[in-house]
Structure 1
Amino acid sequence: MAVEALIAAVRFGLGPRPGELASAGADPRGAVKAQVRAPLVPPPPRDVAPTAALVANLLKAIRNADEATVLSYLKGEARKIYLAEIRAQMARAVNTDTPFYERLVLFWANHFTVSAHKPAVTGLVGAFQREAIAPHVTGRFVDLLKAATRHPAMLLYLDQAGSFGPNSLAGRRRDRGLNENLAREILELHTLGVDGGYEQADVGALARILTGWTVNPTGQGEASFFEPKIHEPGDQRLLGTTIREAAVAQSDEAMALLAHHPATASHLATKLVRHFVADDPPAEAVAGIAKVFRDSGGDLKAMSLALVDLAQPWQAPLTKVKSPTDLVISIYRLIGLVPEPEVAVGAMKLLGQQPFTAPSPKGWPDTGREWLSPDSLMRRIELAQKVGARLAPVGDGNALLVQALGAAAPADVADSVRRAGDRASAIALVLASPQFLRR
């Protein structure tokens, strides 16, 4: 039962908090499943304006402005919002009583990546996670798909806001054209997968269907909306199905077609099993989760519960390497402290995963080989030593080991911590131990 309690805390959760492993009940699986509840809608951080106003301020800063004005906005207001969102995210992660839910939010936010690697969306990445992802991770996938792809952060990140139907009223007048970025990523990354059976013609058809979705420059009302004047008129042929011209309803129909496609079920199941079970997802587990997706009509709550019901996550050793985000969150949950956002950014940047800055729409990698090279291992040891030095005046490595791994702590690790020459070294040995670095 001690091992199951640890698996519940680190594989399905974000790491144990002080006393969590010692107080774990007799049914760790049931405790994890109890966290899959009604949608949680995180409030915006204090002093962060509504998203519609953020979009309007961004557009005002970057349209018809000189480089100095744009840089001033990005380094000033956008940076302030970015740090406020990280503070709020870290507070939720450290303090939450539903860490499985928060892990699902992080998983789906990475699946639908929006990245401050494109500086223009720096002030919107947190709003995207709060508004488009968090409220939908226990709902229907089709609703998550629509919310994510229509959020202003995504529309700006993948240039959909400037995509004009060539034959639309505005397209003909302004000589503006089609942008296929969002359509391609929806097919390749968000739904069917790269081997999902779509063709370039499908990318073009979906791009034409998506025209009309853009951002609102006024700061009033919704931050994104459908503008008929830039929508490409006419029926479109997508994956062999004719999608009739019907303004917003046309894109709704296309999203439903993609969300319920068998290739989407397999693609999503593979990613979920890879995240919660093993870097090389067991085929039988993938098939089982894909079947739940198909049978439930894309019910993400049913999929999440089915993941917990799998035998493999509870039987497999902790071979998944914690990503830098996982590692930093698990450290702060373990010591019961919410870090200042600059500290969290610095720690994750040291390990190669600065918050909200995935290098491409593919998101961050989810396998150990990307996160545990010799160089990255040295950086993890460096971080453990820094934390050990900070905690040494009040911390105790032996107690921390019990809090971190409970009865599942290996004897050799416990012995090394006991024999450490000082408190800082003992704490560092816990945080750099192979068992703590994995989930």
Structure 2
Amino acid sequence: MNAPAIALNRFGLGARPDEPPPTDPPRWLLSQFDRYEALPPAWKAAARTPVLVDAWLAQQRAVRQAPEGQRSGIREAYLRQGRDEYVIAAGARTASALQTDTPFVERLVHFWSNHFAVSVDKLLMVGLAGGFEADAIRPNVLGRFEDLLLAVVRHPAMLLYLDQAQSIGPGSAAGQRAQERQSRGRGLNENLAREILELHTLGVRSGYSQDDVTELARALTGWTLPGDAPQDGAGSTFRFVAALHEPGARTVLGRGYADEGEQQARAILHDLATEPATARHIATKLARHFVADDPPPALVQRLADSFLRTGGDLSSLYRELLAAPQAWAPAQAKFKSPWDWGVSSLRALGRKELPPMQASNLWNQLGQPVWRPGSPAGYGDLAANWAAPDALIRRVETAQRLAQQAGNTVDARALAPRVLPGDALTTATAGAIARADSAETALALLLVAPEFLRR
């Protein structure tokens, strides 16, 4: 595959028929950093985090004040509204991917949203998932890793998804009162701390211990959602509650941290964000996403060195990726995920948006629902995750539906060299398209061609 095709398909989200191949692919990709709009027009219809948190607080308040028999109805009404917000946000994400003229940065948004995954399988935070991407991921994707990490950990979606909002230090004022009342069901929760270490920063088998998990969990106590108190302020999305915080100094990875309230966990996150193991974990995932399921060790090392040298500056990390010759290898080593394939198919057809419910249903049908990976590990990024026969059948069926919708309005023979420029389009695929017995069949063949399924 040639450099323009690599820029459009490997680093971008797929070519559009009205988009000429870039004459200077690296410069085209780098120029997107200056043009990226954190919240493009497609997202204007989606509710922002402060509004979503206000709805959550209103529901909590209503449940507390209602008689027992009315509480389930209040919760169900809240979940219905949350599902509506989810569909709107999924439509916004889809439209943004189809409309963007900064597809490299948009792909990076998707990468980080999956790295810091939340899953709407947990219905309590279903309405907050769109706000999580809009307000924690999108504004920080070109900044420092530490700032991105902090925005993610403090976001209400993550606090609810990993049960941090319920975590209470046993030795805190609130914990002591709970023990006196002999109340059960709330105490120290280690979910967020474990995923920060295992998934978000250091990575699995990187040398941290269970004691490190527990100590980080203790440091994070008090990090929760805003409440109804006036001091929380209108539009707040996070608060630190000293009465929930486990008192005492902490030790994580052999380093000591004084008891400084909220600052204690922030200091730990700062150190985690600059650890060599974190640099290698992020470098490996980034190289795997863009280059190969088994990324070249030299590329991983190059990216890890850049991460450490710049203190986790993400724009510098991406520049290092684009400067690496391994990133421009002609072989199409990456098999597209359902999201990648669906977005690139729609872009190839010139589609700019889908009705939100139709967009949500499309990703469900393809097997990769938006913000629903089912676990904090996110969706897999290997061919083995997506190349099973039943998954390929779903793509063939979807390609046929898209081709039927296009009818005779799209000439696949003319479209193919535009979306697979240069030598990206093989002779075999071009021949199959030319021999197709109808325009619809020709278009479906293009969308499921081997070179279109990979990037």
Alignment deviations for residues 122-147 of structure 1 (CA, whole Å, 9 cap, x no partner) = 11101101111111111111111111
8 Å contact from structure 1 (residues 38, 138) kept in 2: no
In structure 2, the residue matched to 1:388 is 403
- Give 1:319's aligned amino acid: A
In structure 2, the residue matched to 1:240 is 254
**Are 2:28 and 1:31 aligned?**
yes
Q: Which runs of 4+ in 1 moved over 6 A?
A: none
Equivalent of residue 189 in structure 2, options 175, 179, 192: 179
In structure 1, the residue matched to 2:76 is 71
Following superposition of structure 1 onto structure 2, how do residues 211-290 of structure 1 map, counting pairs within 5 Å?
Answer: 211-218=221-228, 220-290=234-304
Cα distance in structure 2, aligned partners of 1:139 and 1:425: 45
8 Å contact from structure 1 (residues 269, 286) kept in 2: yes
Query: CA offset at residue 10 of structure 1?
Result: 0.8
Unaligned runs of 5+ in 2: 65-69, 180-185
- Give 1:5's aligned amino acid: P
Equivalent of residue 163 in structure 1, options 167, 179, 194: 167
Deviates more, 1:173-182 or 1:95-104: 173-182
8 Å contact from structure 2 (residues 366, 395) kept in 1: yes
In structure 1, the residue matched to 2:425 is 409
Cα distance in structure 2, aligned partners of 1:312 and 1:428: 32
8 Å contact from structure 1 (residues 392, 427) kept in 2: no
Query: CA offset at residue 58 of structure 1?
Result: 2.4
Following superposition of structure 1 onto structure 2, how do residues 7-406 of structure 1 map, counting pairs within 5 Å?
Answer: 7-20=6-19, 23-37=20-34, 40-42=37-39, 45-46=43-44, 48-61=46-59, 63-64=63-64, 66-75=71-80, 77-175=81-179, 176-218=186-228, 220-337=234-351, 338-406=353-421
Cα distance in structure 2, aligned partners of 1:24 and 1:336: 15
- Give 2:444's aligned amino acid: A
Cα distance in structure 2, aligned partners of 1:131 and 1:205: 28
SS in 2 for 1:307: helix
Report percent identity of matched pairs: 44
Cα distance in structure 2, aligned partners of 1:40 and 1:435: 30
8 Å contact from structure 2 (residues 197, 203) kept in 1: yes
Query: CA offset at residue 40 of structure 1?
Result: 3.8
Query: CA offset at residue 336 of structure 1?
Result: 2.0
Alignment deviations for residues 343-380 of structure 1 (CA, whole Å, 9 cap, x no partner) = 22222112210111111000000001110111111111
Deviates more, 1:246-255 or 1:167-176: 167-176
8 Å contact from structure 2 (residues 47, 131) kept in 1: no
8 Å contact from structure 1 (residues 277, 316) kept in 2: no
- Structure 2 vs 1, CA of residues 361 and 291 (structure 1 numbering), >3 Å: closer, same or farther? same
Cα distance in structure 1, aligned partners of 2:2 and 2:29: 14
8 Å contact from structure 1 (residues 318, 438) kept in 2: yes
Cα distance in structure 1, aligned partners of 2:300 and 2:327: 12
SS in 1 for 2:251: strand
TM-score (structure 1 length as normaliser)? 0.95
- Structure 2 vs 1, CA of residues 150 and 207 (structure 1 numbering), >3 Å: closer, same or farther? same
Query: CA offset at residue 172 of structure 1?
Result: 1.3
SS in 1 for 2:17: coil
8 Å contact from structure 2 (residues 221, 244) kept in 1: yes
- Give 1:178's aligned amino acid: L
Query: CA offset at residue 43 of structure 1?
Result: 6.0
Deviates more, 1:326-335 or 1:268-277: 326-335
Alignment deviations for residues 296-327 of structure 1 (CA, whole Å, 9 cap, x no partner) = 11111111111111111211411211111111
Alignment deviations for residues 172-198 of structure 1 (CA, whole Å, 9 cap, x no partner) = 113441100000000000000011110
Query: CA offset at residue 48 of structure 1?
Result: 4.6
SS in 1 for 2:420: helix
8 Å contact from structure 2 (residues 40, 96) kept in 1: no
8 Å contact from structure 2 (residues 17, 348) kept in 1: yes
8 Å contact from structure 1 (residues 114, 356) kept in 2: yes
Unaligned runs of 5+ in 1: none
Query: CA offset at residue 170 of structure 1?
Result: 1.5
SS in 1 for 2:11: coil
Cα distance in structure 1, aligned partners of 2:124 and 2:408: 43
Alignment deviations for residues 70-115 of structure 1 (CA, whole Å, 9 cap, x no partner) = 223212x112211111221122111111111111111011000011
Cα distance in structure 2, aligned partners of 1:217 and 1:157: 18
- Structure 2 vs 1, CA of residues 143 and 385 (structure 1 numbering), >3 Å: closer, same or farther? same
Q: Aligned-pair RMSD on alpha carbons?
A: 1.7
Cα distance in structure 1, aligned partners of 2:28 and 2:160: 39
Cα distance in structure 2, aligned partners of 1:378 and 1:49: 35
SS in 1 for 2:239: strand
- Structure 2 vs 1, CA of residues 339 and 61 (structure 1 numbering), >3 Å: closer, same or farther? same
8 Å contact from structure 1 (residues 53, 220) kept in 2: no
- Structure 2 vs 1, CA of residues 411 and 119 (structure 1 numbering), >3 Å: closer, same or farther? same
**Are 2:2 and 1:3 aligned?**
yes
SS in 2 for 1:66: helix
8 Å contact from structure 1 (residues 431, 437) kept in 2: yes
